[in-house]
Amino acid sequence: MEEGRKINVGILGATGTVGQRFITLLSAHPWFVIHALGASPRSAGKPYASAVNWKQATPIPSAVKTVVVRECKPEHFADCAIIFSGLDADAAGDIEAAFRAAELAVFSNAKNYRRDPNVPLIVPLVNPGHLSIIPQQQALHSPPLSKGFIVTNANCSTTGIVIPLAALEKAFGPLELLLVTTMQAISGAGYPGVASLDIMDNIVPHIGGEEEKIEWETLKILGGVQEDDQGAKSFDMHANHPLRVSAACNRVPVIDGHTECVSVRFARRPPPSPQQVREALAAFTPDAKALGCPSAPRHTITVHEEPDRPQPRLDRYYQDGAGVSVGRVRQCPVLDIKFVVLSNNVSIGAATSSIINAELAVLKGVVAA
């Protein structure tokens, strides 16, 4: 990235929870400058400060207060090189497709295209190499594209666990079994989210579609990209060493920060010891950090030695929520190793991942700087 050069970016769904987080993170970004904000027709035409019900812990950045909100139509974002989408899934599908067709690079937080076999599902601290499928996505589009594409980030609960899983596979080889029980924050449901009478003094042992997302997204993320004799690429979905995943998801009365209790079984025998696992987690350095992505965390995985950490209230904002915390690493009497993961669902689980994905795309030349 050329020093001093700025890239215009647009934000779709800018008045929503994820859109607000995009604005908070991008307002001081060294490469990206917020050029356009998009929202629903009822917000279009209003200054951003008048259109938004601001719910972040910091004030609205002064640079966007008077920016007039636009409808989410590609012609209103023609001067942007990158589009960040914080749209709800019920609106994201057609809108993101239209922006891609208009030759815009879309980095989406929505679920709509995660299963698409030509759309990379990227947790930037794990599988940035999946950006290699973008030329195929562009070539298969009708008509073929030269600059437009869609990249998705993962579900917030999936993101938290695949980062330590990737570290363990890098150090010790493939995993065979994964059991995960999540305790997910209410901010993951958006705003206004879960009714107070449902969540206060309560745990809700069901989040629609969440368990299935963890179970298949993990495989797409940890799997590689394979190429056939004709040069067609596809995701191997962990085909060489199939990982079986079982997830149980719960909504708990925490504002931000997903906590997940994980048990894993390794293919290798004997399995690594808890101390070996701690050392491998702490040493994990992803490509995003090595390449110089400005939003990548200094420490990808923070390993806690205390018996009662990590905790959402104490650890969710470390490194502005860009890394993950792992604690209580110990032997599992049923599988091999068990531990607790905490991730900030509105940062690395959402907006931060999309921003690092865009930084990687710039550094790899997928988006012209």
Q: Please give the chain's pLDDT, 369 residues, in tens.
A: 666 689 999 999 999 989 999 999 999 999 999 999 999 999 999 999 999 999 998 999 999 999 999 999 999 999 999 999 999 999 999 999 999 999 999 999 999 999 999 999 999 999 999 999 999 999 999 999 999 999 999 999 999 999 999 999 999 999 999 999 999 999 999 888 899 999 999 999 999 999 999 999 999 999 988 888 888 888 887 766 679 999 999 999 999 999 999 999 999 999 999 999 999 999 999 888 888 999 999 999 999 999 999 999 999 999 999 999 999 999 999 999 999 999 999 999 999 999 999 999 999 999 976
The phi, psi pair for 147, rounded to 5°, reads: -125, -25
Tell me how far apart the alpha carbons of residues 275 and 331 are, in angstroms, rounded to a whole number.
10
Q: Which amino acid makes up residue 58?
A: T
Q: Which amino acid makes up residue 19?
A: G
- pLDDT per residue over 129-145, tens digit each? 999 999 999 999 999 99
- pLDDT per residue over 216-255, tens digit each? 999 999 998 888 888 888 888 776 667 999 999 999 999 9
Tell me how far apart the alpha carbons of residues 149 and 151 are, in angstroms, rounded to a whole number.
7
- pLDDT score at 341: 98
- pLDDT per residue over 253-269, tens digit each? 999 999 999 999 999 99
Q: Which ranges constitute the DSSP H helices of 143-273?
A: 156-172, 196-199, 210-222
Q: What are the extents of the domains in the chain?
A: 7-155+351-363, 156-344
Tell me how far apart the alpha carbons of residues 340 and 161 are, in angstroms, rounded to a whole number.
9
Residues counted in the chain: 369
One fold for both 7-155+351-363 and 156-344?
no
Contacts of residue 322, Cβ cutoff 8 Å, sequence gap at least 6? 295, 296, 297, 344, 347, 348, 352, 356
- pLDDT score at 232: 86
CB count in 10 Å sphere of residue 75: 9
Tell me how far apart the alpha carbons of residues 115 and 364 are, in angstroms, rounded to a whole number.
24
- pLDDT score at 109: 95
Determine if the peptide bond prior to 143 is cis (ω within 30°).
yes
- pLDDT score at 127: 95
- pLDDT score at 369: 67
Catalytic positions, written as ranges: 156, 258
- pLDDT score at 239: 66
Topology, domain 7-155+351-363: Rossmann fold (3.40.50)
Strand order in the sheet with 301-303: 244-251, 175-184, 258-266, 337-343, 324-331, 301-303
Contacts of residue 100, Cβ cutoff 8 Å, sequence gap at least 6? 106, 141, 145, 148, 149, 150
- pLDDT score at 107: 98
Beta bridge partners of 9: 34, 82
- pLDDT score at 2: 64
Q: Classify 156-344 by CATH class.
A: alpha beta
